[in-house]
Amino acid sequence: MSYFRDNIDSMTAYVPGAQPAAGETVIKLNTNENPYPPSPKALAALGEFDGERLCRYPHPMAGQFRAAVASVLGIGEGWILPGNGSDELIVIIARACAGSNRPIVYPYPTFEFYLTQAQIENAGPIQVSFDDEYNLPVDGLVAAGGAVTYVANPGSPSGTAVSNDALSELAERLTGVLVIDEAYVDFAESDSLELAKNCDNVILLRTLSKGYSLAGLRLGYAVANPQLLDGLAKVKDIYNVDCIADCVGAAAFEDQAYKIATAAKVNASRAKLTSDLEALGWSVLPSQANFVLVRPPGGNAQQVHQSLKDRRILVRYFNSPKLDDRLRITIGTDEQNAAIIGALTELKED
Ligand SMILES: *Cc1c(COP(=O)(O)O)cnc(C)c1O
Shortest-distance atom of ligand 1 to CA 208: 7
Instruction: Give the pLDDT score at 238.
Output: 97
With H, G, I as helix, E, B as strand and everything else as coil, classify residue 3: coil
Report pLDDT digits (tens) over 49-86.
999 999 999 999 999 999 999 999 999 999 999 999 99
Q: What distances in angstroms separate CA 203 from CA 168, 194, 350, one per listed residue?
A: 12, 11, 49
Mean pLDDT of all residues belonging to the chain:
97
Pocket test for ligand 1, best of 65, 111, 158, 204 (most atoms within 8 A of CB): 111
Pocket test for ligand 1, best of 116, 208, 210 (most atoms within 8 A of CB): 210
Shortest-distance atom of ligand 1 to CA 219: 7
Cα of 156 vs centre of ligand 1, distance in Å, is 9
276-289 burial by CB neighbour count: b if 16+ within 10 A, else e?
A: bbeeeebebbebbb
Residue 177's beta-bridge partner residues?
A: 148
Confidence band of 27 (pLDDT split at 50, 70, 90): very high
Shortest-distance atom of ligand 1 to CA 110: 13
Q: How many CB atoms lie within 10 A of CB 8?
A: 13
Residue nearest to atom 1 of ligand 1 (CA): 183
- Ligand 1 binding pocket, CB closer than 6 Å: 32, 85-87, 111, 152, 156, 181, 183, 207, 209, 215, 220
- Indicate if the pLDDT at residue 349 is higher than 80: no
Rounded Cα gap, residues 212 and 137, in angstroms: 31
- Indicate if the pLDDT at residue 22 is higher than 90: no
Report pLDDT digits (tens) over 213-269.
999 999 999 999 999 999 999 999 999 999 999 999 999 999 999 999 999 999 999
Question: Phi-psi category of 41—alpha, beta or left, where left has phi over 0 and alpha has psi -120 to 50?
Answer: alpha
Rounded Cα gap, residues 305 and 318, in angstroms: 10
- Indicate if the pLDDT at residue 23 is higher than 90: no
> Which residues have a Cβ under 8 Å from the Cβ of 115 and sit 6 or more positions away?
125, 127
Cα of 348 vs centre of ligand 1, distance in Å, is 33
Rounded Cα gap, residues 211 and 213, in angstroms: 6
Helix (H) or strand (E) holding 108: strand 104-108
Shortest-distance atom of ligand 1 to CA 89: 9
Rounded Cα gap, residues 289 and 189, in angstroms: 10
Instruction: Give the pLDDT score at 19.
Output: 84
Q: Do 335 and 36 touch, CB atoms closer than 8 A?
A: no
Instruction: Kindly state the average pLDDT of the residues 4-20.
Output: 91
Sheet with 327-330: strands ordered across: 283-284, 291-295, 327-330
Shortest-distance atom of ligand 1 to CA 87: 9
Q: What distances in angstroms separate CA 13 from CA 48, 90, 290, one per listed residue?
A: 38, 16, 26
Instruction: Give the pLDDT score at 1.
Output: 86
Angle at which helix 243-254 crosses helix 256-279, to 10 degrees, equals 80
Pocket test for ligand 1, best of 181, 186, 219, 328 (most atoms within 8 A of CB): 181
Q: Which candidate, 345, 323, 338, 324, places its Cα nearest to that of 159?
A: 323
Q: What distances in angstroms separate CA 262 from CA 35, 157, 267, one per listed residue?
A: 9, 21, 9
Percent of the chain predicted with pLDDT > 70: 100
Does the predicted TM-score (pTM) go above 0.95?
yes
